[in-house]
Amino acid sequence: MMDGTPLVPTPTRTEGEMSRREKRKLSKAEREARRLRLDAQELDALVKDTAAAFRSSHEIVEDSATECDRRRADLEADLKYRRLPYEIWRGRPGAEVLVTTMADLIAENERHLVAIEQLCRRFDDLSKNHTWHETLSTDLVPDELIRRRLFSDSPA
């Protein structure tokens, strides 16, 4: 340059582009092996997390309480969606079998809802009562028990 600064050549590609260009693509077998390895790592993490949760009485109570709340919400939605068509079809000539079957389904969902609500209250009481909590050892609940019973295709 005219001010005495030396000219420095600048590459037309960035460093990232050059390194990408130099990498070879994985073969189909390599991609499959990589996918299997990542799947195995994810399964190992899931097994460890599940085993840790199953060892803790606190975690079991919280998980069960959440399940009860979800099931209650599902049943309430089911009942809402069952009652309207029941009302629409009730009294229509020729729809008696449909209406009585729908009434039986509604009654069963209501019965189930009562039972779930009772369980929700019990789990809520357990979660508020912090006087008892136990965490079992890995000797009593090994990771392999969880893997075998929940994450394998073979029957337990």
* Overall average pLDDT of the 76-82 stretch: 97
**Per-chain mean pLDDT for the chain:** 87
Alpha carbon distance 136, 138 (integer Å): 7
User: Per residue in 94-130, pLDDT tens?
Assistant: 999 999 999 999 999 999 999 999 999 999 998 888 7
For residue 21, pLDDT beyond 70: no
For residue 25, pLDDT beyond 60: yes
Q: What percent of the chain has pLDDT over 70?
A: 83
Q: Domain limits of the chain? A: 26-56+136-156, 60-134
Alpha carbon distance 53, 48 (integer Å): 9
The reported pLDDT for the residue numbered 9 is: 64
CA-based nearest residue to 121, from 64, 56, 60? 64
CA 56 to chain centre: 19
Q: pTM value? A: 0.67
The reported pLDDT for the residue numbered 72 is: 97
CA-based nearest residue to 143, from 55, 10, 57, 47? 47
CA 51 to chain centre: 15
User: Per residue in 35-69, pLDDT tens?
Assistant: 888 988 999 999 999 999 999 999 999 999 999 99
